[in-house]
Each structure stands twice: as structure tokens, then as C-alpha cells.
Amino acid sequence: MKARGSGYDAGVPPATPSSDPRLCPLCGLANSCAMEQQRATGEAQPPCWCTNVDFDAALLARVPAESHGLACICPACARAAG
């Protein structure tokens, strides 16, 4: 079963879990979230890369509870899990 939306890397433990919406909740690096960029700048952005990616349920289950629905998984963590 796969879910659409933010995912994270199954092989990389989070450096410091964070609920900062600009940071990946798994590795702590910038997540390149276009939706957060738009909120921060007020400038229209194209759809976020994560809206077109399927994330495995096991990967999503690794996101710390405090980050659920708040921070996107970064592209590197999503690729590493796939």
C-alpha cells in the first residue's frame, strides 16, 4: 500500500527530528517543499515535487509524530527509500 504525500528515507535515521516545515523530518536537511516556500515568501510556486510521488506506508510510518502533516520528506530521503 502506498500513500501520496510526504515520505522519508528508510535507510537514514533522522539527525534531529524537527517539526520545522522547511526541514525533512528524517534527515533534518532542507526538504525543497514548494508549498512551504510559497507560505514563506508569498510568491506562487509550481506544485510541490512530493504531490506526484508515491510514498510507501512503512516509510511514512517512520516520520516522528510531531512532524506528521507539518513537514515534507526531502527528495533524497524519498529516493533512498524507493
The pTM of this model reads 0.68
Which structural domain range is residue 61 located in?
A: 2-81
Contacts of 67 (CB under 8 A, 6+ apart): 17, 18, 19, 25
What total of structural domains would you count in the chain?
A: 1
HEC-encoded secondary structure of the chain: CEEECCCCCCCCCCCCCCCCCCECCCCCCECCCHHHHHHHHCCCCCCCHHHHCEEEHHHHHCCCHHHCCCCCCCHHHHHHHC
pLDDT at 18: 57
pLDDT tens digits for range 14-73: 444 557 888 999 999 998 889 888 988 999 999 988 888 888 888 899 998 888 888 889
Predicted local confidence at residue 1, as pLDDT: 31
Per-residue model confidence (pLDDT) at position 82: 66
Residue 21 has a pLDDT of: 86
Confidence grade of residue 5 (pLDDT, cut at 50, 70, 90):
very low
> Quick one: pLDDT at residue 49?
85
